[in-house]
Structure 1
Amino acid sequence: MRSQKRLNEIRKLPCVVCGRSPVDAAHSNQSKDGKGMGLKACDSKTIPLCRNHHVEYDQFQKMNRSESVEWFAKMLEKTERMLKIDTNSDSVF
């Protein structure tokens, strides 16, 4: 499912790993989330990643596929918390 609103909100956040901006709305690489040949996963399965971390994630540079599944789930949970934080609240970093 596509959601331009979700993608726009993700792009307003800092990188979920390092806190830098700008970010990409990085989609899950897992078929269970709708990823397929030439298809992106559902937009609800996106996290904010700076360009460097996005490339590392997509190319499995620092973890294998099974490790990336667990890592992405943790980063998605953190992203959901970040989306709910008031701008006057403490940072998640």
Structure 2
Amino acid sequence: MFRSEKLRRAVADLPCAHCGREGATQAAHANLLEYGKGRGMKASDAALMALCADCHRELDQGRSMDKAERREFQQTMIARTLVRLIESGRLVLA
């Protein structure tokens, strides 16, 4: 399982990938089995989403999305986070 404190910190420095809020972002792990999510185990750090506390809570505990919408939301937020990491220069390929 991929773990990187440096990547988690870089993601937390981004604005929320959903609402754009700055200064309160968390590195949220995907809740999808294909990214290694399991009982008592967080998904890979390679599948992080930059979400503020409110958006993170809504994803994990909210009732505004059904299962399919939650899955699509996570995939979109992971992609947005990756794009922002690259465009901001926080993720550089060697």
TM-score normalized by the length of structure 2: 0.84
State the one-letter code of the partner of 2:20.
G
Secondary structure of the 2:18 match is coil
Structure 1 residue runs of 5 or longer lacking an equivalent are 88-93
Aligned length: 87
Name the CA distance, whole Å, in 2 between partners of 1:61 and 1:5: 32
State the one-letter code of the partner of 1:3.
S
Q: Who is 1:33 aligned against? A: 35
Worse-matched range after superposition: 62-71 or 25-34: 62-71
Q: Name segments (4+ residues, structure 1) moved above 4 Å.
A: none
Q: What is the percentage of aligned positions where both structures have the same residue?
A: 37
Instruction: Summarize the Cα distance change of 1:53–1:71 in structure 2 as closer, same or farther, 3 Å threshold.
Output: same
State the one-letter code of the partner of 2:56.
H
Matched, 1:5 2:9: no
TM-score normalized by the length of structure 1: 0.85
> Aligned-pair RMSD on alpha carbons?
1.4
Structure 2 residue runs of 5 or longer lacking an equivalent are 90-94
